[in-house]
Amino acid sequence: MKRTIGILLAVLMLTALMGTAYADSSGLGIEPGQAFPDFTVSLTDGTTATLSELLKEKDLVVLNVFASWCGPCEMEFPEMEKSYQAHSDRMVILSVSGDPSDTMEMIADYKASHGLSFPMGLAGDALGFLKVSAFPTTVFIAKDGKVGFIKVGAFTSGEDFEDKVGTFLSDNYNGLPLPSEVAHSYTLQILIGILVMLLFLVIGRWCLFRKAGKPGWHSLIPFLSTYQEYDLCWKGWIGILALLLPAAGGVIGKLAGQANWSVLLTGACSIGYFVFRFMESIKLSKAFGKGTGIGILLALFQNIGRLILGVSKAQYQGAETEA
């Protein structure tokens, strides 16, 4: 039991460490509340824009760093345009490309083709102090020249963007910055999750096989380990049927050539799979001297459940596996 608790605590610690990847810091090299350095960038109309000059005329400067090839940038521009049209008397959106491969001609064509009226140009070396890690990145600069809000990644809705604009243009704005929002890629977290699940799978099944008098190395062979594990309590065929049902539903539905049949058969097979999975898990739990609760855990969280069962003091009771 102590060993099981230790493993569970290690898992919780790993989860906590994974969560720290979502830090409040934008990684931009400047954070909300800090003064934004003055800069001058070139625009598509042949003029330039200087932050300090813009702030003399406007109450809010929204600096948007994008790239001409960026899909999320393109998706958020129409909503930004609507907000700009509504608040252009007090706010300016300054959108500049941070991709060195973009040219002024490309940005001019981009602006015209997308029907955008706010100033656009190139970031160039003028914004070299920013550590832009993703396009788009948007910085709200308040009237006092300080960073009010940073968004790394696209705004998911026009309402979200308008809400932020409304905060800084409100007569009741208290001058305090808003926390940064950073859109993360979940690829690394997904890969870590898969590796952790594989670790649970191998260790848990290894221990199960050893307790049942089976060679532990079977756990290293995916299909063989599946068959051997099912064989511990179902003599093979029920477990293999549960394993093949979802695939069979998709194949049959595909052969039928009709989407409705495919959905219906896949759904029916999936229901059958989960029924057999619960039955198999409860039977496996009893075979190792555990109750229905552990069986449900096995059904819902297979790899974690097998790890807990495998490292516990459960004893395999072969007589209970007879059909």
**pLDDT of 180 over the 70 cut:** yes
CATH at residue 141? 3.40.30.10
- Which of 87-91, 130-134, 213-217 tops mean pLDDT? 87-91
Residue 18 lies in a domain: no
Mean pLDDT of the 245-255 span: 63
Cα 246 from Cα 262, distance rounded (Å) = 11
pTM of the full predicted structure? 0.56
Mark which of 130, 164, 182 sits at the end of a domain.
182
pLDDT of 323 reads: 37
pLDDT band at residue 23, thresholds of 50, 70 and 90? Answer: very low
pLDDT surpasses 80 at 13: no
Which pLDDT score, from 0 to 100, does residue 321 have?
43
Q: Assess whether 147 and 286 both reside in one domain.
A: no
What is the domain range of residue 227?
Answer: 2-13+187-321
246 and 117 in a common domain: no
Domain boundary pick from 182, 198, 228? 182
Which residues are CB-neighbours of 2 under 8 A, at least 6 positions away? none
Q: Determine the pLDDT at residue 236.
A: 56
What is d(CA 277, CA 238) in angstroms, rounded to the nearest whole number? 9
* 178 and 192 fall within a common domain: no
* Domain end among 143, 161, 182: 182
Tell me the C-alpha distance between 76 and 83, whole Å: 11
Q: For the chain, what is the domain count?
A: 2
Cα(68)–Cα(201) distance, integer angstroms? 45
Residue 47 lies in a domain: yes
Q: Are residues 132 and 87 in the same domain?
A: yes
In the chain, the percentage of residues whose pLDDT exceeds 70 is 74
65, 105: one domain: yes
Q: Is the dihedral of CA 140, 141, 143, 144 positive or negative?
A: positive
70/175 same-domain check = yes
